[in-house]
Every structure is written in C-alpha cells, then in structure tokens.
Amino acid sequence: MDNIFEELLAEVKDAIRDFHNSKELYDARMRFLGRTGRLTALYKRIREIPPEERPAFGQKINALKEELEARFAELEARMHEKELAEKLSGESVDVTMPGRRVTVGTLHPVTRVKNMLIDVFAGMGFEIFEGPEIENDYYNFTALNTPADHPARDMQDTFYVSENFLLRTQTSAGQIRLMEKKRPPIKMLCPGRVFRSDDDATHSPMFHQMEGLVVDRHITLCDLQGMLDEFARNVFGKESKTRLRPSYFPFTEPSVEVDVSCHVCGGTGCSLCKGTGWIEVLGAGMVNRRVLENCGIDPDEYTGFAFGMGVERIAMLKYGINNIKLLTENDVRFLEQFKD
C-alpha cells in the first residue's frame, strides 16, 4: 500500500510539468484533487487496511493532499501571472505607429460659388425662393411674355417632358411663381438647376442659375447696377466695375447684358477677356410691365428689375476653369484643389 503514495506523487510530478493555460491546469487539479479525483479515491481505500494502520494512513493522505494543494496553488499563481502578462502585451499600444490619415472632403466649386452668391445677396436682404425643376409651359415661357410662337423661344433649346411640361430652361420661372403669391416689396433670389439641349466646352445640358428679382415703388436701372457693382466687388475683387450693354429678353424692358471688368488684367486686356478688358457675366433688365400684369401687380405703381446668372460660368471665371465638363466629371484630383 505504501508505494501508492510514491506512485501518485510520481504521477503528479509527471502531470504538472507543463501546462499551456489555466484550463489545462484546472483539469489536472480536478484529476487529483477533485471530488472524483485520485486523492479522493485514496480516502475511500482506507476501509481496506487494518484499523490500527488507519490513522497513519490518514495522516499520509492529508499530508499528500496539503502538498498537492500547495503545488497547484503555486502553479496557478504563476499561470495567472503569465496569462496576465500575455494579455497586457497583446493589448499594448504602439504610440510610435503613424496615425491613419484622415482625408477631409471639399465642397464642389459650383456649391462654393452658389453659397458665396447666396451670402452676398442675403447680405443685401434677398430672400431665397426655390421653384420646381419640372415646369409647365406657362411659368417657363408664356407668363414671361414668351408666347408659343414667340421667336425668343429659340434662344433656349428646351427639353420637353410632355406637351405641356418641360425641364425649366431658366430660373426666371421662379419670378412668376413668387409674384403670384407675394405682393411688393419683393427681393428674392432663386437658385436652382436648369436644363437646355446644349453641349460644348462652356455649355452643359444641366447647369445652375441664380435669379434675382426686386419689385417695389421707384425701382430703377440705377438700383440694378448699384447692386450688381456690390455683387462684382464681392465675387471678383474690390476693384471690379460693371458695365451694361443693351440686349433683349422678352420678360425685361429694357434688357441688358452685364459685363464685369476683367479680374485677371484689371481692364487692360488679356487672353481671358480677349483684349477687351470686360467679361460678360449675366443678363438682366427692368421687369417687363406685361410680366407684372400677368402676376396681378400694377405696373404703374410698381417697377422692378431682374437678373439671371449662370453659377458654372461664375465658377469658371473665378477659378480659371476652361472646360465646363471638369465640373461634372468628379475627378478628385480636380475637386480637391478647391480648399479654403
């Protein structure tokens, strides 16, 4: 019976040589010290030996049990330390590692110019009004003094959706929509997308316009030019001036084409302004009395001016962009150049 202890001890020594993790260690502990373990089995064998030897046998088992418990406790402490060290080293942060680069997006140049124009005109007291992109013939043409057989309809190649509906060719449609609802004084800015069947380096079938409309008592062409001077100074620089040239639009009378002094050469002549010192930027005029009448506003009491500009055109002039397609290709190398 004596060598049972020796054997068990040898077995324990053998079993506890190396454990990879605390689970293995726990299983081993259970194998010897657990309720169905080897040592518990020894206690049961106490019945097999003569009564007088039992106390000594019991002491031996107890001593062995204490020894095993002490060994396992030590192993567990070491395992715990080892596992903790592993866990901590796995979680450590290498503060010398380069950070992940965060690339910040930029606003599209058309959005930038649009926002800028809104800021400038909102600063002068204009309210923003947005009309629908699909319009009917009445708002886009007829109410703007351009009846069906009017030759001015040829000025804009129109995309028709049906006989009566079309993609608006101009934000001027917003003038009618607003004046039907609101009485003077009116000071509105109507930004939005417009569509024309037109496609070359400076024209695209979809582009953005910004319409301005001011209607009140005693509004004159001087008010229009004064306000456009302020616009030009804000967009093209402090020294900018404007010049009005006679033009024609059915919904304004008189109508003008507005030039801004060339912001590249300052007016002396360069390749951008083709040697003239001036660049055409928008169309404008005094609101035609027939348009006011169409909206139920008395033209003998009220007068007004309107203007319409292409946002892409302003962006191209301001940033020196020579092809309108660059604005719709969405090449990041192009777009990321427009940073604050």
Provide the binding-site residues for ligand PHE, judged by CB under 6 A: 170, 172, 211, 249, 252, 283-285, 306-308
Give backbone dihedrals phi and psi of 110, rounded to 5 degrees, phi first.
-70, -40
Residue 317 · residue 281 · CB < 8 Å: yes
Cα distances (Å, whole numbers) of residue 260 to 62, 239, 311: 106, 10, 15
Give backbone dihedrals phi and psi of 198, rounded to 5 degrees, phi first.
-155, 135
Among residues 252 and 261, whose Cβ is nearest to ligand PHE?
252
Least distance from ligand PHE to the Cβ atom of residue 313, Å:
11
Least distance from ligand PHE to the Cβ atom of residue 107, Å:
25
Residues with Cβ within 8 Å of 188's Cβ and at least 6 positions away in sequence, in order, are: 126, 127, 128, 129, 174, 175, 178, 182, 211, 212, 213
Least distance from ligand PHE to the Cβ atom of residue 282, Å:
7
Residue nearest to ligand PHE (CB): 308
Q: What share of the chain is helix, strand, coil (3-state, %, to 5)?
A: 45, 20, 35
Nearest to 318 by CA among 198, 210, 232: 232
Among residues 170 and 240, whose Cβ is nearest to ligand PHE?
170
Least distance from ligand PHE to the Cβ atom of residue 192, Å:
12
Least distance from ligand PHE to the Cβ atom of residue 209, Å:
6
Q: What is the β-pairing status of strands 186-195 and 127-128?
A: parallel
Residue the block writes with tokens 């046998």: 57
Among residues 230 and 253, whose Cβ is nearest to ligand PHE?
253
Among residues 32 and 184, whose Cβ is nearest to ligand PHE?
184
Among residues 68 and 316, whose Cβ is nearest to ligand PHE?
316
